[in-house]
Amino acid sequence: MKQLLVLAGAAALTYAAPAYAKPDHAKGGPHAQHVNGPVGYGAGGCPPGLAKKNNGCLPPGQAKKLYSVGQRFPTGYGYPWQYNQIPYDLRTQYGFDQRYNYYYGDGYLYRVDPATMLISQVVNAILR
């Protein structure tokens, strides 16, 4: 009797195993690329909940890590940029000045006061 129960349990698990397979994994999942663009999720493959936040599809934990105006700019973060490296359109649109230091990191351009190292302006700019 014990052997029959063990055999029946093993048979049930064997037949139930294919039910755990997810068919869209074989197709590349929700971020799969299609001829006409991304398939699944909202625009550009971003989940609808993150697309509503207008923060570049960043998860909440990542968005909190960004630096904001008034904070001290951490040493070693981002890449230093010379004033002349910044595209002319951005310099005129945001009123950048040669007296400040500029750093680029994670898609943001930071204007930093060289004396205090406090961030005075943050611009969302994909430059590379």
Q: Which residue has the tokens 């230091």?
A: 101
DSSP letter (8 states) at residue 23: H
Q: For the chain (length 128 residues), average pLDDT per consecutive 10?
A: 70 61 52 49 62 62 70 87 90 91 88 93 78
∠ Cα 28 31 37 (to 5°): 105
Tell me the domain boundaries of the chain: 1-55, 66-128
- The reported pLDDT for the residue numbered 41 is 46
Q: What is the pTM of this model?
A: 0.50
Judge contact between 41 and 32, C-beta under 8 A. no
